[in-house]
Structure 1
Amino acid sequence: MAYLKPSWFTKKLSSMMSASNIAERLTVTRRVSGGPQEVAVTTVVVEGVRYVLSTRGESQWVKNVRADPNVTLTINGESTAYTATEVPVGERAPIIAAFEPHFGKLIVGRYFVKLPDAADHPAFALVPRSA
């Protein structure tokens, strides 16, 4: 599976967004250290289900979610625990299409030109965990 490494500027911008309430933040458990990894994400709701998608491909957070699907999503300072379930490649098209209005053609288009196969964009359904 492919991965598009972010530039230094993109890493810094993402880090600043993660530190604020501007972006949604996904917290996952690192598979080696067991510590938390926090990444800025954008989620979409398709037919009542919330999804998160990796536009850059098989990133470290994707590998971490596969190892431990218990994640926390923080939106505007409010955190919710979820179980992430990977969406099969053949079912990703409507999810990928739903992301375009949120990211815009410039961002999604740029990544999808470089990684055109839906298999290169892991998507996860987020199901709230019971308290």
Structure 2
Amino acid sequence: MTEQRYLKPGRIEVRLLHNTVGWLTRHGISIAGSRELAVRGRKSGEWRHNPVNPVTVGSNRFLVAPRGQTQWVRNLRAAGEGELRVGNRIERFTAEEVPDNEKPPLLRAYLGRWQWEVGAFFKGVNRDSSDEELLRIASDHPVFRITEQA
């Protein structure tokens, strides 16, 4: 089995960036379209919260994990559903993981929208990279198609 990529954020990043963005989002202020992901922990069953940057491609919405196989990725795989939150607005969704061969246009769209924030996690690949380059890094970045629940 190959090692799965995960770039763990540092303490300062968590305290300054994640906690600040999370606090703002919980209070109804979305930074450039960011959301707070709420998903049940796969072991504890407790709600876990992380800031995320959804991207829309065509008529579908996606969550991309720029840091790789994070805890929220593992929890979302196990739960198959979650919530995107901004203030009191809660959007419940189901999630389906996208296979690597379908990721290049999704990663390109994600980088086109969010590269200013997450580009450092993509090994020099950007929105102008070829499909082959995007496919090369696809397994390092889980992607989920999210569908709003009625």
Same fold (TM over 0.5): yes
Residue 98 of structure 2 is aligned to residue 78 of structure 1 = no
1:29, distance to aligned residue in structure 2 (A):
0.4
CA-to-aligned-CA distance 1:5-32 (integer Å, 9 cap, x gap): 1111221111221121233111000011
**1:1-131 counterparts in 2 under 5 A?**
1-12=4-15, 13-21=17-25, 22=30, 23-75=34-86, 77-105=88-116, 107-108=118-119, 110-113=120-123, 117-130=137-150
Count the aligned residue pairs.
129
The structure with the greater share of residues assigned to strand is: 1
Deviates more, 1:99-108 or 1:52-61: 99-108
1:79, distance to aligned residue in structure 2 (A):
0.9
User: Relative to 1, partners in 2 of residues 1:100 and 1:40: Cα closer, same or farther, differing over 3 Å?
Assistant: same
> 5+ unaligned residues in a row in structure 1: which ranges?
none
> 5+ unaligned residues in a row in structure 2: which ranges?
126-135
Q: For residue 142 of structure 2, what is the amino acid of its counterpart? A: P
Divergent runs of 4+, >2 A: 104-107
Q: For residue 90 of structure 1, what is the amino acid of its counterpart? A: N
Larger radius of gyration: 2
Cα RMSD of the aligned pairs, angstroms, is 1.8
Q: Distance in 2 between matches of 1:107 and 1:84?
A: 22
User: Relative to 1, partners in 2 of residues 1:56 and 1:114: Cα closer, same or farther, differing over 3 Å?
Assistant: farther
Q: Are 1:24 and 1:76, in contact at CA under 8 Å, matched by a contact in 2?
A: no
CA-to-aligned-CA distance 1:35-55 (integer Å, 9 cap, x gap): 000100000100110100000
Q: Distance in 2 between matches of 1:129 and 1:103?
A: 25
User: Residue 129 of structure 2 aligns with which residue?
Assistant: none
